[in-house]
Amino acid sequence: MRDLEVLYRQVIMDHYKNPRNKGLKQGMEYKTIHIKNPTCGDDITVQSKIDDGVVSDVRHDGSGCSICCSSASVMSETLIGKKLEDAKSITETYMNMLTNKEFDETVELEDAIAYAGVSKFPARVKCASIAWKAFEGTLESE
Amino acid sequence: MDPYILKKDFPVLDDDTLCYLDTAASSLKPWKVIKKLDEYYEKYGVNVHRGVYNLSYVATQKYDESRLKVSEFINSTFEEIVFTRGASSALNLVASSYGLNNLTEKDEIIVSELEHHSQVLPWQNVSNITKAKLVYVPLNNEGRITVENFKSVLNENTKVVALNYVSNVMGYISPIKEIIALAHEVGAIVTVDAAQAAPHKKIDVVDLDCDFLSFSGHKMLGPTGIGVLYGKRHLLEAMPPIEFGGDMNDNVEKYDASWKEAPYKFETGTPPIAEAIGLGAAIDYLNEVGLDNIAKHEYDLKEYTVNKMKELGDIIIYNETSETGIVSFNIEGVHPHDAITYFDGDNICMRAGHHCAQLVIRWLKVVATLRISFYLYNTKEDCDKFIKTLKEARDFFKSVGF
């Protein structure tokens, strides 16, 4: 099977077709970051809501390729309900995995592990990381 | 011309699994050009115009020879050729020097949604600073600039017309000669973006009567980092430099200075010497093959490929009637960035995105497109390989649920 098939057959198509936690929320308790990749047109907005050190909600909206859009959905499912420190370490581990850096294999990535295959397509790493970068941004604006 | 023989001149194509269909972004370079760069660095790699020693004289002579070659390539004169960093710099030079110094709020600038960002953004900047009005030629239903539509926006207030000769997304050839004649009737000057024209078709600036014309070296077999601005001599002479420094000045006083003649007043600092000389070698190569032969070859490959694409189904082609070797398309329901990875897997190089022309992508009402573009080194086998992968890609994305 081609690497590409592996990549698409897993959770990616499911989340692309049926995105979870899509649509933005109003309200000061949400921190919002918008990231655009002008070269390819990916355009993603991510919101996070932190309550007592726990990621209580993650929302996303935007347009882009299947990897970009599905990864935002998978990210929201993975991170909601996590302690802030755990969410940060999942994000860091995920980024390291995509970029072929050493990563802590004991960190549970849940469905986001499906994107491990993206590291074989360097040109697509940006697509798979843009939503997660936006999430990191929402934490910085805290 | 025989593309199978020409291919052998391009070392990147030594990898016979590679299918290069992205010439509109940058062409491959033949040995003759690569060797020419080496020759400069190995034999006379010193500065031009400065040294009073033989080696500098040799470098200057080669650099000047190249300028002469460029001027003959488009039927102009030596003094009318300014070397720049690329087509973008050339187009910017016209806007920053001519535009900012000649336009006022009463004036109008005509551009189109078919322009590359390098043509439209410098004039957007001029418009913001001078308050001159930016006016868009309405495109026809195919996305073309037509003479009729051009007439509908032309008036006595028009001072500058900034349009492309060949569109980098649609591959259409603009009726630029007629547009220039009409613009001159109302006293406007015309600056032509020829980045996609110069590599593929014979340009005669005297016949066109254009005021400015810009193109890049790297899209026509030459090195990166070198571009050309052609300007009518009287216009260049009247224009102020936009960059100041070494080599462009004449007499320098504490509070005032004077400039060299055109083109030198626009070329401050050590120029891209090797690149300019390399561009000369690229022009020799193109002249040997013949631009008319190249244009016909690309068009034939484009027609062959488009016909096969139409047979496949589920492929949306945006510029079927294009007269050049550019095809913009999408696979129905598949984001171009998903599609491009499939082609990459088969070592097919092509473009996905908005091609530095967001306005026309928006005009097409799509998020982005795929683009293939042909050149003299492409063969029918490249087209067949592309079609085979396109069919597989379409089937694959359908099978996973797109």
What is the spatial distance between Cα B325 and Cα B24, in angstroms, rounded to a whole number?
9
**From its phi and psi, is residue B24 left (phi > 0), alpha (psi between -120 and 50) or beta?**
alpha
Q: What share of chain A has pLDDT > 90, as a percent?
A: 69
Q: Pick the catalytic residue: B19, B210, B349, B356?
A: B356
User: What averages of pLDDT result for each successive group of 10 residues across chain B (402 residues)?
Assistant: 97 97 98 98 92 90 97 98 98 98 98 98 98 98 98 98 98 98 98 98 98 98 98 98 94 94 95 98 98 98 98 97 98 94 94 90 93 98 98 94 86
CB pairs under 8 A between A and B: 47
Which of B169, B338, B399, B402 is the best substitution to test chain A (most A C-beta atoms within 10 A)? Answer: B338
From the list B167, B259, B165, B241, the residue with the least C-alpha distance to B204 is: B165
Q: Tell me which chain A residue has its CA closest to the CA of residue B336.
A: A65
Alpha-carbon gap, residue B402 to B399, rounded angstroms: 7
Q: Do B222 and B282 form a contact (C-beta atoms < 8 A)? A: yes
The reply to whether residue B342 touches residue A5, judged by beta carbons under 8 angstroms, is no
Q: In the prediction, which pLDDT does B297 show?
A: 98
Residue B362 in any domain: the answer is: yes
Q: Do B158 and B227 have their domain in common?
A: yes
* CA contacts within 13 A on the Cβ side of B177: 7
Supply the CATH number for residue B114's domain.
Answer: 3.40.640.10
Annotation says B356 is catalytic: yes
pLDDT tens-place string over residues B113-127: 999 999 999 999 999
- Tell me whether strands B133-137 and B249-252 are parallel, antiparallel or unpaired: unpaired
Residue B52 has what pLDDT? 80
Of A3, A17, A127, the CB nearest to B337: A127
Tell me which of A116 and B185 has the higher pLDDT. Answer: B185
User: Strand A54-63's sheet: what is its strand order?
Assistant: A30-36, A43-51, A54-63
B283 and B296 both lie in a single domain:
no
Residues in A whose CB is inside 8 Å of some CB of B read 2-5, 8-9, 13, 17, 39-42, 63-68, 121, 123-124, 127
**Beta partners for B369?**
B353
Q: Mind giving me the DSSP string for B308-320?
A: HHHHH-SEEES-T
Taking the CA of residue B370 and the nearest CA in chain A, the distance in Å comes to 11
Is the separation of the CB atoms in B379 and B3 below 8 Å? yes
Q: Does B381 lie in the same domain as B243?
A: no
Of B266, B288, B310, at which residue does a domain stop? B288
- How far is B356 from B189, CA to CA, in rounded Å? 25
Inter-chain CB proximity A65 and B336 less than 8 Å? yes
Q: Where are the beta strands (DSSP E) in B244-368?
A: 249-252, 257-259, 315-317, 326-331, 348-349, 351-353
Sign of CA dihedral B173, B293, B213, B208: negative
Tell me the shortest Cα–Cα distance from A3 to chain B, in angstroms. Answer: 9
Residues A71, A33, A93: CA angle, nearest 5 degrees: 45
Distance CA A9, CA B203 (A): 51
- At B402 the pLDDT is 87
Q: Where are the beta strands (DSSP E) in B142-261?
A: 158-164, 189-193, 212-216, 227-231, 249-252, 257-259
- pLDDT average, residue stretch A109-114: 91
Q: Which domain holds residue A100?
A: 3-140
Q: Work out the burial of residue B136: count CB atoms within 10 Å of its CB; fewer than 13 is exposed, 13-18 middle, 19 or more buried.
A: middle
**Is the domain of B327 the same as that of B385?**
yes
Within a domain: residue B197?
yes
pTM beyond 0.90: the answer is yes
ipTM of the complex: 0.83
* Structural domains counted in chain B: 2
The boundaries of the domain holding residue B101 are 32-288
Residues of A in contact with B361 (CB under 8 A): 41
What are the Cα distances from residue B229, in Å, to A10, A28, B258? Answer: 52, 53, 22
Does the structure show a pLDDT above 80 at A7?
no
> CB-CB: which of A41, A42, A124 is closest to B341?
A124
Q: What is the pLDDT of residues A57-100, one digit of tens each?
A: 999 999 999 999 999 999 999 999 999 999 999 999 999 999 99
pLDDT for residue B392 = 96
CA distance, residue A101 to nearest chain B CA (Å) = 22
Per DSSP, the three-state class of A33 is strand
Closest CA to B115 of B16, B210, B193: B193
Quick check: is B63 in a domain? yes
Contact across the interface for B341 and A63, Cβ inside 8 Å: no
The pLDDT value given to residue A105: 87
Residues B183 and B261 in one domain: yes
Rounded Cα distance between A22 and A57, Å, is 11
B26, part of any domain: no
Let me know whether B16 and B82 are in one domain: no
Distance CA B347, CA B350 (A): 10
Closest CA to B227 of B377, B83, B55: B83
pLDDT bracket for residue A1 (50, 70, 90): very low
Number of domains into which chain A is organized: 1
Is residue B322 within 8 A of residue B373, CB to CB? The reply is: no
CATH number at residue A24: 3.90.1010.10
Residues B262, B363: one domain?
no
Q: Which residues of A touch B336 (CB under 8 A)?
A: 65
Q: Is residue B306 located within the same domain as residue B272?
A: no
CATH number for the domain harbouring residue B373 = 3.90.1150.10
Dist. CA B12–CA B19, nearest whole Å: 10
